[in-house]
Amino acid sequence: MDVKIEETWKAVLQEEFDKPYFEILTNFVRKEYQTTTIYPPAKLIFNAFNLCPFDQAKVVIIGQDPYHGPGQAHGLCFSVNDGVAYPPSLINIFKEIEDDLHRPTPTSGNLERWAKQGVLLLNAILTVRANQPASHQNKGWEEFTDRVIKELSDKRDGLVFMLWGSYAQKKGAVIDTKKHLVLKAVHPSPLSAYRGFFGCKHFSQANAYLQSRGKSPIEW
């Protein structure tokens, strides 16, 4: 199958695109976009990949599925379009960055600036129905993003994986911890952030690790 995605990712994932499950998934997603409101806009499904090529990724953050409110999702986990109010988890991410790195809260919740520096903002599920969280669960996206994580773990060295919450940590079970730095904490949602997300210092740890391997730090 010919999928419109950034070329380095296409080379790594073409085998996956040719599997029967991916064709079934594609047909399902296409029909959903034709019959109901789906987020993100179809052209932005692979936005995380297009903004952060496979060979340029330095940090991987794993989310669950896209925001399901109007105008929020644009293909990057935890990120929202310019001018959109910050969701609670993103507010808490910015609070931790402020505490960890003494950076003021940014004026935009659009994290494209991270993606362009090598942060892959990967949701496990890449599409969702409006106002129906997890509505595209168990349709094939999880199998696809498992492969993405495995390829990154196997074919790259010295990446930082940030796994927030039990869902992301299960998803990251395939990561080779001898080759990569895996940082774990509870999810940044208001329900759990005070149980260990605040104070986790993942952002300074990530930058220290990158610099120790001769890579430039992320401007969080």
Q: Which residues are catalytic?
A: 65
Region 94-120 average pLDDT: 97
| Residue 169 pLDDT class (50, 70, 90 cuts) | very high
Alpha-carbon distances of 8 from 11, 38, 105, rounded to whole Å: 5, 27, 33
How high does pLDDT run on average in the chain?
97
With 0-12 CB in 10 A as exposed, 13-18 as middle and 19+ as buried, what is 168? buried
| Residue 34 pLDDT class (50, 70, 90 cuts) | very high
**Tens digits of residue pLDDT in 44-76:** 999 999 999 999 999 999 999 999 999 999 999
Bridge partners for 123 per DSSP: 63
Does pTM surpass 0.95?
yes
Q: What is the pLDDT of residue 102?
A: 97
